Structure 1
Amino acid sequence: MTTQPRVIPRYAHTAGPTSMTYSPDGKYLITVGNNEVIRKYTVASDDEPATIEQSQDGKTAVVASDDHFVVSAEDGTVSIFSMATNTFIKLLVRTSLPPRDLSISPDGLLVAVASDETVVKVVNLEDNQRVMNLRGQKNSAKHVAFHPSGNYLAVSGVDGTIYIYSLSTEEPELVKKLDGIISALKEDSESSSKVAWHPDGRAFLAQTPTRELVVVDRTNWEKHRVFANGHNGDITDYAWSPNGAFLASAGTDGKLLIWESKTQTIISRWDYKNILSLAWHPTENTISFTTSQGQLYTLPNPVPSDQGWLLNLSVRPAPLINDTGIGSHPSVLPTRSKPPAQLYRERSPSQDSLDELLPDDLDDFIEDDDGAGYVEINQNNKRRASDLPPGGLQIGKRRAYGTEPWAPEVHESFQPGSTPWKGMRRYLCLNLVGFVWTVDQETHHTVTVEFYDREVYRDFHFTDPFLYDKACLNEGGSLFSCKPKDGNGAMIYYRPHESWTTKGDWRTSMPKGEDIVSIALSDSYIVVCTTAGYVRVFTLFGVPFRVWRQKHTPVVTCASWRDYVIVMGNGAVGPDGRTKLVYTIENVKRDETLQSEDIVALPADGSIRSVCFSDNGDPCVYDSDGVLLVCLHWRLQGQAKWVPLLDTRLLDRLATGMKQESYWPVAVAQNKFHCIILKGGEKYPYFPRPLLSEFEFSIPLTSTAPSAAEAPKSDALEETFVRESVLHSLQEDFAAHTTTTTEEKRELVRCENIIDKTLLQLVAMECQDNDRGAKALEICGLFRQKRTLELAVKVAVRYGKLVLAEKIGELMGNMEMDLDV
């Protein structure tokens, strides 16, 4: 045990409660206190701290990511500030009673707020409208703490109960209530009852009523090792070192203690009174703490130099009884190449690093005989294919040596409706039926399927040892696929929502060496596209129905509707060095090719973001420019063309230029574009699940939206005419190739009436202009019904356009002659 001289304090705040935190990258230290200012110190600098003025006094807590820091105050406000500019960004959330503690998720996306309310709020930093409410506790909460994986949140109640929530589902699930570990405390008590998760995630630390710190196993919730006989007063704060090798604790007895985690022995001791908040520097052998006198201390080398080398190792095992290491527990996370506590930061290399001088095989020089973890495992970080943006372009790889041959840019494959990993979670499917998401639990995944109509369908949740990475969902069932694993081939799994047999679900594997690129599910068939270029079609009960190889590979994506499937792949290379995105539409049942290797009309330097069939069965794509297009006349060979239905860049909501948002495509139904609005720089939807929005079709004809206030009335009428004409053509094609119902026939007539009514209004507008009679006559030639010509004659007479009325009469006579013929 060692004792070191005292350090000189810095006076940060007035006397009263204080709180402090480091930024994850270790560059800054932020403190809050009882006055109206926030102090931001630059680490290892003697300069004066940045002072951020805020009108609220009585700050209660502060947490930070590399880009932001979040501060709570007694008036119930929780605010976000920019780390780069030290400026207020926005109010994150407000509580009706004073907040007591904050915790930020390891990925820096979520902030948990404990307050004197009985509800704990978990708020998304990027969109504060997305809030999860934790309601399992009967009394107010004093502390909150995210698990290193971000999948769990521990809540310490003032009633002496610890609540463990799983955040793996859309609705947070209370998985465990623990009594008899922590004391019941008042909300404003200086004593701490917080949960301090060990960096390896297998256990947490908490203060018992006897002023001891006990380690609790996360798998069975049993007490294990105890850090005892250290403090004679209540413990006010405690924290693991970044790799869990040491523990720091401070108490009302005026003691600051450093413990070795493995042996639970005190290795350093200091006398500092009134410590309220302490934290380890993320990468250095340094501890900082604040006191109730408003002072900030930074203590160098709290771990003696003869043991400081342990801080440079990866995450140490939690001190559990009869435990030999992180990998020994059957249900815990295996050791990662990057420790869980450092998922978002890396230790910077020293300037005199010997890595470049030592031979590559030196890692074998030391053998880890006793499993104590002296040897670090060096693994190459591999990027997941699912982390690439859907529909993005991948530049061809170059050789490492010799000449550098040219390679084209190809369209990267993607699964419609899925998102990349973010914070150990991702959506596998998002549509109007429901949504499917998965959570990475390291050894396995957990998959949740939820429906919008819960009166018809029942949500379900299951453990996924196969690590499904793609999914489809419709009214009949759900389809999943996974990559090859442990020598087994890629696999698909279908689960119907209802079945009259005992077992309706089934699995089947692809041939070895054949990975799954994209899957699709319709009311009749299951479609699987693979890396071998094959399109494999199964019935809903698993019978192989058809298989063929695409002419253009690699395959990009696919979608299906009833008996039809559209498959997209990379075609010939264009003059810009990019492959053309081509598509094929097949009728699987009749084994008929409707469109073969036709080109998808994408913008220059653009890519595809999603492909789907509308509820009427028309293929639609959404491109990187934010334009929704439909394939017109796709049932007629050689006649297909891509027609824009909506350009989201021309929406009224963006006209002022004040909003920065994009749109995640979900579905095309009821003649509307259904999507998720992504605020700011977001690229993908995240949790909690955002609400769906819908936009009416609006074909881009001018630079402004037809509904804009400054747009002429004629613009809106012309857009309506073109849009309804497109919809009418789609309905005519549908009626010509299927058996139509009475309602569908009425819809065709309704479309014709809207078209003629719109044109008639345009005729009336032209009649008001003395010089536009020719255009009015031209418009009359576009009428779909004879009776509309009769109305046009009356309009011309009303405005005194007698010559126009005569010519419209001649046009009506010609129409009658054509009908007779």
Structure 2
Amino acid sequence: MALFDPPPDVQLKYAHSEGPTFVTYTPDGKYLITAGQNNFVRKFTHLSVDEPDITDHQHAANSGLAATNENWYICNEDGVVESYSIRTNKSDKLITRFPLPVRDIAVSPDGYWLAACSDDINIKLVNTHDTTKHIVIRHHPKPIKHLSFDPTGSLLAASCTDGTIYMYSVASETPDLVDKLPGLIPALDVDNEITTRVFWHPDGRAFALGRSDMDIAVVSKQDWGVKKLFAGGHSNDITAIGWSTNGAFLASGDSKGYVVIWESKNQKVIVKRQYEGGISTIVWHPTDNVITIATNEGLVNIQMKALPPEHEKTLNLPLQPSPGFQAGGDSLARLEKRAEARAEAQKQRRGSVEDILAGLDDDEDDWLDDDDGAGYGEKNENGKRNLTGLSIGMPSGKRHYGSWSPDIHEPMQPGSTPWRGDRKYLFLSLIGFIWTVDQKTHNTVTVEFYDQEQFRNFHFTDPLLYDKAVLNEHGTLFSSVPGRGNPALLFYREHENWGVRHEWKTRLPDGEEVLSIALSSSYIVACTDKGYIRIYSLYGVPIRVYRQKHAPVVSCTSWRDYVMILGNGPVSASGRAQLTYTIENIRRDEIVQNNDVVALPDDATVRNLFFSTDGDPMVYLSTGVLLALQHWRSPGQARWVPILDTNYLDRRIGGRKEETYWPVAVSQDKFCCIILKGGEKHPYFPRPLLSEFDFKMPVSNPPDEDEAKNDPMTKLEESFVRESVLLSLSEDLVEHTRATEDEKLNVMKRHVVIDKTLLQILALECKDEEKNSKCLEIVGLMKQPRTLAMAVKVAEKYERHALAQKIEEMRNQMEED
């Protein structure tokens, strides 16, 4: 190799032998994976000085690389595509095999599907969790050189050696050829170093590609027309392109080793550097100001401080629009529900309002355009922008909205899952489950019950394309989206009873769409995009229509006469809307809790919400915490209590189980869920079994098995706090409802459990003679005189006579009171 002085702040890795080198970061940014022409893969830990992990294989030269947070995928010229575990660095499965060399692979944003192309012309789509599920695509006449999924995972772009880009819809199990795009890329052999890959902008509305005139074109997804050009930065063939994770910057490399970093909004060159060898791959770190550049010399250059300080703050902004598009508006990213992995990465980089304003520096004047004559576009005598009249979320005579917009909570339907392939679960509960299958011209809906002696399963053809459903022991509620000339529709079907079944339908006003629905034993609730809450009786009588104060509405759930509605409240300092909730008693027309805040951490979202079988509001968070709303029947007294943190389950302590949980319900003091393994984020078919976990509050750091045997105090303290919360929930139920005898008996049982736990704690503390004060404090928590009498015996057992006398005095006082 020729001697070459690398740019400043670069970590140079002699990673592989001479030839094309491939690099990728895992979506969470923890690891950098590299592969080259020798038969091994290196895994670098981001910012670590340790040597990388090296994984060998016995195949020919590597030809492509892709990664998720759980696995990396490698293909080679032997025609083999394999999956390796990020955790163990070992091969865990053969994904697929071709008779000829594999030229490229791409993994969908959700990690469920891998696309691979080979010299034998075919493209294979393979399910990464079940490789028996695969699809072959054959609409193109010549081999494919590059593959890339759009950020939603619904489109696959295939760059063919005939000079045409083939766009395939892969939203169902029968991929369709959406369009052919000739003339955008040159016709090149599969081993040509020039890239013809489609590089999707993170917002999904456009993609970038290198042109034969050495410029970079931005092509709109709407009409496949060129919207913008990154021109004049290269005088050699374009060989690599990469967008920053928020889309604010683009990096490009050429065959002579030059790398150019552009500002996306105005297509201006910010940085230009040269590296040794032609550039083969460029990737941005998901969160840091770092770019990794791989060359045809087998070198991996980790460029620290890739952007100058005056531009680094722009890298920390939320998702920026594609070049040539405005922020907000008809956002395809919002309409098509950008992949969860992308959304999670954006949350980690979310800036506050102050960060946005800080980003409006002298060198970035284009972020403010004085298009309404307010005067804030002009510079003052100090050369700074005049921000007078700039309004973010505040009323003024003139408003201007820049690229910033608050981060809101997207609508969700409790108990439902996203589409995977051609099917999705509309609802999962302890009563049964509902799923729908896309048949292209219509859907088919199936409702199944666990207790098939009491309920009868049913199945029907669905031309209205119901997208939401709720099921309980009385009936099933469906809602459809407006379309095909029809308004949104609510459909309620009562379960068969003595051979009689009642059902009804109602149409919503034109242009109104249902965001969430709820069904209780008394009422039906529909929340719409107009901010309306529509309430009906079970037999279709309209009860009430009103506007929710905090909009847009996020979700709703109900129990008996109560409904809980979530909405987007005021924007916090982090730039994110607060999630608020309101609880109403419909029968009494009474607001119980009014626009209070759901206690969410900044990085959390709600995965599900429901009332427990005892009637207590619950939310399950993306962080794995189950929250219960305590004292919710008393206005102004409600608070969210973590009654289970699944991260501290015994089965997960010490990393023994790598799994997550899909929340279904809370019943009889147990969390009912579906265990998701292998990186799954949602339940899939066939329907998995339900699991139950006891509540376990995060009172202290959980001990390992050996510590738990030697120190039972941790479990006793957790038991006391947990049972105290459950007692308060039970007492509220008995006090505010017509409680059954079993519910009243349950309160008495909880008192006994709490006193028993306190006696056990007291016995442990009595072993220490210096803990008299703590022992008296423990006794003070006991509620029944007979428990204090037993406490006297505990103290006497350990010869704590002075303590026993004090406890006896407390017992006498309690009996007198």
Structure 1-normalised TM-score? Answer: 0.59
- Amino acid in structure 2 at the alignment position of 1:351: R
1:665-690 deviations in whole A, cap 9, x for unaligned?
21111101122223354332333333
Moved more, 549-558 or 426-435: 426-435
8 Å CA contact retained: 1:105, 1:146: no
Whole-angstrom CA distance in 2 between matches of 1:804 and 1:91: 65
Please state how far the C-alpha of 1:87 moved relative to its aligned partner. Answer: 6.2
Q: Tell me what 2:212 maps to.
A: 352
Please state how far the C-alpha of 1:395 moved relative to its aligned partner. Answer: 9.2
Does residue 411 in structure 1 map to residue 413 in structure 2?
no
Does residue 736 in structure 1 map to residue 735 in structure 2?
yes
Q: Tell me what 1:527 maps to.
A: 525
Whole-angstrom CA distance in 2 between matches of 1:561 and 1:421: 27
Q: Tell me what 2:765 maps to.
A: 766
Please state how far the C-alpha of 1:758 moved relative to its aligned partner. Answer: 0.6
SS at match of 2:655: coil
Does residue 445 in structure 1 map to residue 447 in structure 2?
no
Q: Tell me what 1:582 maps to.
A: 580
Distance 1:621 1:360, change over 3 A: closer
SS at match of 1:415: coil
1:224-256 deviations in whole A, cap 9, x for unaligned?
xxxxxxxxxxxxxxxx4xx1558xxxxxxxxxx
Q: From the CA coordinates, give the structure whose radius of gyration is larger.
A: 1
Q: Tell me what 1:81 maps to.
A: 83
Distance 1:577 1:349, change over 3 A: closer
1:638-668 deviations in whole A, cap 9, x for unaligned?
2211111011222222221354332222111
8 Å CA contact retained: 1:69, 1:83: no
Please state how far the C-alpha of 1:635 moved relative to its aligned partner. Answer: 0.9
Q: Tell me what 2:548 maps to.
A: 550
- Amino acid in structure 2 at the alignment position of 1:89: S
8 Å CA contact retained: 1:388, 1:420: no
Distance 1:810 1:687, change over 3 A: same
Does residue 513 in structure 1 map to residue 511 in structure 2?
yes
Please state how far the C-alpha of 1:411 moved relative to its aligned partner. Answer: 2.0
Please state how far the C-alpha of 1:443 moved relative to its aligned partner. Answer: 3.1
| 5+ long unaligned stretches in structure 2 | 1-19, 23-34, 42-54, 100-104, 115-124, 148-159, 182-196, 201-206, 226-329, 357-366, 371-376, 378-389, 393-404
Please state how far the C-alpha of 1:48 moved relative to its aligned partner. Answer: 6.9
Please state how far the C-alpha of 1:626 moved relative to its aligned partner. Answer: 1.9
8 Å CA contact retained: 1:706, 1:716: no
Distance 1:691 1:725, change over 3 A: same
Q: Tell me what 1:672 maps to.
A: 670
Please state how far the C-alpha of 1:357 moved relative to its aligned partner. Answer: 11
8 Å CA contact retained: 1:483, 1:491: yes
Whole-angstrom CA distance in 1 between matches of 2:723 and 2:463: 49
8 Å CA contact retained: 2:696, 2:718: yes
Please state how far the C-alpha of 1:528 moved relative to its aligned partner. Answer: 0.4
Write the mapping of 1:230-269 to structure 2, written as runs, cut at 5 A.
240=138, 243=139
SS at match of 1:453: coil
Match of 2:178 among 300, 316, 336: 336
Whole-angstrom CA distance in 2 between matches of 1:338 and 1:430: 40
Write the mapping of 1:186-585 to structure 2, written as runs, cut at 5 A.
199=137, 240=138, 243=139, 280-281=143-144, 336=178, 349=209, 351-352=211-212, 384=335, 401-402=369-370, 406=392, 407-499=405-497, 504-585=502-583
Distance 1:282 1:796, change over 3 A: same
Does residue 686 in structure 1 map to residue 678 in structure 2?
no
8 Å CA contact retained: 1:334, 1:442: no
- Amino acid in structure 1 at the alignment position of 2:490: I
Whole-angstrom CA distance in 2 between matches of 1:495 and 1:556: 25
8 Å CA contact retained: 2:494, 2:501: no
Please state how far the C-alpha of 1:333 moved relative to its aligned partner. Answer: 8.8
Distance 1:334 1:539, change over 3 A: farther
1:350-380 deviations in whole A, cap 9, x for unaligned?
532799599999999xxxxxxxxxxxxxx99
1:680-719 deviations in whole A, cap 9, x for unaligned?
5433233333332221111111122697844731111111
SS at match of 1:485: coil
1:419-440 deviations in whole A, cap 9, x for unaligned?
2223333322222222222333
8 Å CA contact retained: 1:79, 1:91: no
Q: Percent identity?
A: 45
Aligned length: 566
8 Å CA contact retained: 1:594, 1:636: yes
Whole-angstrom CA distance in 2 between matches of 1:105 and 1:502: 53
Please state how far the C-alpha of 1:722 moved relative to its aligned partner. Answer: 1.2
Q: Tell me what 1:699 maps to.
A: 697
Whole-angstrom CA distance in 2 between matches of 1:336 and 1:448: 30
Whole-angstrom CA distance in 2 between matches of 1:359 and 1:814: 80
SS at match of 2:816: helix
- Amino acid in structure 1 at the alignment position of 2:212: D
1:605-650 deviations in whole A, cap 9, x for unaligned?
4332221100100001122322211111111112211111011222
Whole-angstrom CA distance in 1 between matches of 2:550 and 2:588: 22
Q: Tell me what 2:747 maps to.
A: 748
Please state how far the C-alpha of 1:748 moved relative to its aligned partner. Answer: 1.5
Whole-angstrom CA distance in 1 between matches of 2:75 and 2:339: 30
Whole-angstrom CA distance in 2 between matches of 1:507 and 1:400: 50
Whole-angstrom CA distance in 2 between matches of 1:605 and 1:640: 23
Whole-angstrom CA distance in 2 between matches of 1:380 and 1:593: 36
8 Å CA contact retained: 2:39, 2:57: no
Moved more, 502-511 or 518-527: 502-511
| 5+ long unaligned stretches in structure 1 | 1-25, 29-41, 58-62, 72-77, 94-99, 112-121, 132-143, 148-196, 200-239, 247-279, 285-301, 317-331, 365-378
Cα RMSD of the aligned pairs, angstroms, is 5.0
- Amino acid in structure 2 at the alignment position of 1:671: D
Whole-angstrom CA distance in 1 between matches of 2:591 and 2:705: 40
SS at match of 1:542: coil
Please state how far the C-alpha of 1:70 moved relative to its aligned partner. Answer: 10
Q: Tell me what 2:92 maps to.
A: 90
Q: Tell me what 2:402 maps to.
A: none
SS at match of 1:410: coil
Distance 1:767 1:487, change over 3 A: same
Please state how far the C-alpha of 1:764 moved relative to its aligned partner. Answer: 1.0
Please state how far the C-alpha of 1:577 moved relative to its aligned partner. Answer: 3.1
1:505-545 deviations in whole A, cap 9, x for unaligned?
32212112221111111111111011111111111222211
Q: Tell me what 1:717 maps to.
A: 716
Whole-angstrom CA distance in 2 between matches of 1:696 and 1:361: 51
8 Å CA contact retained: 1:707, 1:716: no
Q: Tell me what 2:726 maps to.
A: 727
Q: Tell me what 1:235 maps to.
A: none
8 Å CA contact retained: 2:644, 2:695: yes
8 Å CA contact retained: 2:199, 2:209: no
Distance 1:355 1:725, change over 3 A: closer
Distance 1:423 1:338, change over 3 A: farther
SS at match of 1:655: helix
Does residue 591 in structure 1 map to residue 589 in structure 2?
yes
8 Å CA contact retained: 1:396, 1:410: no
Write the mapping of 1:637-656 to structure 2, written as runs, cut at 5 A.
637-656=635-654
Structure 2-normalised TM-score? Answer: 0.59
SS at match of 2:178: coil
Q: Tell me what 1:250 maps to.
A: none
- Amino acid in structure 2 at the alignment position of 1:682: E
Q: Tell me what 1:273 maps to.
A: none
Distance 1:386 1:810, change over 3 A: same
1:135-163 deviations in whole A, cap 9, x for unaligned?
xxxxxxxxx8845xxxxxxxxxxxxxxxx
1:395-431 deviations in whole A, cap 9, x for unaligned?
9999995578644332222112222223333322222
Moved more, 509-518 or 80-89: 80-89
Please state how far the C-alpha of 1:603 moved relative to its aligned partner. Answer: 2.2
Whole-angstrom CA distance in 1 between matches of 2:218 and 2:65: 37
